[in-house]
Structure 1
Amino acid sequence: MAKAKTPGGRRMTGTKVAPAGQTVTVDAPVVKKPRPTIPQFFSQVRAEGRKIVWPSRKETWITSVMVFIMVVIAAIFFAIVDGGLTVASKFILALGQ
């Protein structure tokens, strides 16, 4: 928790006093959870692993094809932009000669 600032921008040090009529709340101390033993840890990992929903072969195939198509479209787009910038920069540099 950061220290409160005074109106002048300096940080207050020492005790903090609440204005009259206001309630001061104090955060409860954080209680650490006990660490699981090694067998408990691995049983929890296995339990979480069983919750995973894996995609089917069809979903994986469709997603892979979609990614490939997007990569091809991006490559074509950037090739066109690169070619256009190359032509434009050569034209601008040729004006100075």
Structure 2
Amino acid sequence: MAKAKTPGGRRPGSPQPAPAATVAAEPPAAKARISPMQFASQVRAEGRKIVWPSRKETWITSVMVFIMVALAAAFFWIVDTILSFLSQLVLGLGA
């Protein structure tokens, strides 16, 4: 027979959590519209903050990506070969 649940799913004698304070939701503030010139100026300012990788960093990253792709390809080829062998073994048992 299943036990009856206590109200709220709590065990008797366990401490009750404090009620959460309610916070009145404020309506979202309307964003001020900016002129196209200000927008272009902000875009240029953000563009100046970009740090481009050096040629060496780009080369190292590209080589690492190539190595990871080769490892992933080898892994999936091995798994595919094993699964193919096992499926042929299982399907060949019925013949």
TM-score range (shorter-chain normalised) is: 0.7 to 0.9
TM-score of the aligned structures, taking structure 2 as reference length: 0.73
Deviation at 1:27, TM superposition (A): 2.9
Which amino acid counterpart does residue 84 of structure 1 have in structure 2? I
The correspondence of residues 1-97 of structure 1 with structure 2, limited to 5 A, is: 25-97=23-95
Compute the RMSD of aligned alpha carbons.
1.5
Structure 2, gaps ≥5 residues long: 1-20
TM-score of the aligned structures, taking structure 1 as reference length: 0.72
Q: Count how many residue pairs are aligned between Structure 1 and Structure 2.
A: 75
Structure 1, gaps ≥5 residues long: 1-22
Which amino acid counterpart does residue 27 of structure 1 have in structure 2? A
Q: Would you tell me which structure has more helix in proportion to its own residues?
A: 2
Give runs of ≥4 in structure 1 deviating > 4 Å: none
Deviation at 1:35, TM superposition (A): 1.4
Tell which has more relative contact order, 1 or 2 (C-alpha 8 A, sep 6+).
Answer: 1
